[in-house]
């Protein structure tokens, strides 16, 4: 996966990394990847996003993960632990994406993490939506 080499190479420019994420996004959006293949890509992105120093790169990676994970199996199976272990390193824009993914996971273990952002007024709506989605998925066994 050439794009993974670009994201993990600190010598690559911001533009190169953004282009690589755009390529990944096209694969996830328009490719005919299986759910397993999409999950593998998204899990690789989960590991890469915490290694990035630029907030713009982090945000486009998180957007690619969120938008590329629309299959219920993928949303439920994503490995979000690398991200969860580094939440303090993300700005509010990035946290908005992360809260959505935590809610979409249907994993009740993430409830306390989502709720911990209730006091952030910029994320108040994101927290409500994530908790609502989490409750819906738990209730409906999704």
The secondary structure of 49-84, three-state, reads HCCCCCHHHHHHHHHHHHHHCCCHHHHHHCCCHHHH
Please choose, from the candidates 116, 81, 87, the residue with its C-alpha nearest in 3D space to the C-alpha of residue 131. Answer: 116
pLDDT digits (tens, 9 = 90+) for 50-100: 999 999 999 999 999 999 888 889 999 999 999 999 999 999 999 999 999
- Tell me the pLDDT band of 2, cut-offs 50, 70 and 90: confident
d(CA 79, CA 101): 10
Percent of the chain clearing pLDDT 90 (strictly above): 87
CA distance 141 to 133: 12
Mean pLDDT of the chain: 94
* Per-residue pLDDT tens over the stretch 25-41: 999 988 888 999 999 99
pLDDT at 32: 84
The total of structural domains in the chain comes to: 1
Predicted TM-score (pTM) above 0.85: yes
Tell me the three state secondary structure of residue 21.
Answer: helix
Q: Residue 114: which domain range?
A: 2-139
- Identify the pLDDT of residue 15: 97
Amino acid 1: pLDDT:
60
Q: How far apart are CA 107 and CA 103, in angstroms?
A: 7
C-alpha distances in angstroms, 53 versus 24, 56, 67, 87, 88?
A: 19, 9, 22, 14, 13
What count of residues does the chain have?
142
């Amino acid at each position: 996966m050439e794009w993974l080499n670009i994201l993990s190479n600190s010598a690559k420019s911001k533009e190169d990394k953004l282009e690589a994420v755009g390529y990944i996004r096209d694969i996830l959006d328009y490719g005919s990847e299986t759910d397993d293949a999409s999950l593998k890509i998204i899990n690789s992105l989960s590991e890469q996003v915490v290694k990035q120093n630029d907030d713009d790169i982090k945000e486009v990676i998180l957007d690619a993960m969120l938008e590329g994970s629309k299959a219920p199996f993928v949303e439920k199976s994503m490995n979000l632990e690398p991200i969860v272990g580094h939440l303090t390193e993300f700005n509010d824009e990035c946290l908005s994406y992360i809260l959505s993914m935590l809610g979409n996971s249907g994993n009740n273990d993430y409830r306390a993490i989502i709720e911990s952002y209730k006091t952030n007024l910029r994320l108040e709506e994101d927290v409500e939506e994530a908790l609502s989605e989490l409750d819906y998925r738990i209730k409906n066994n999704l």
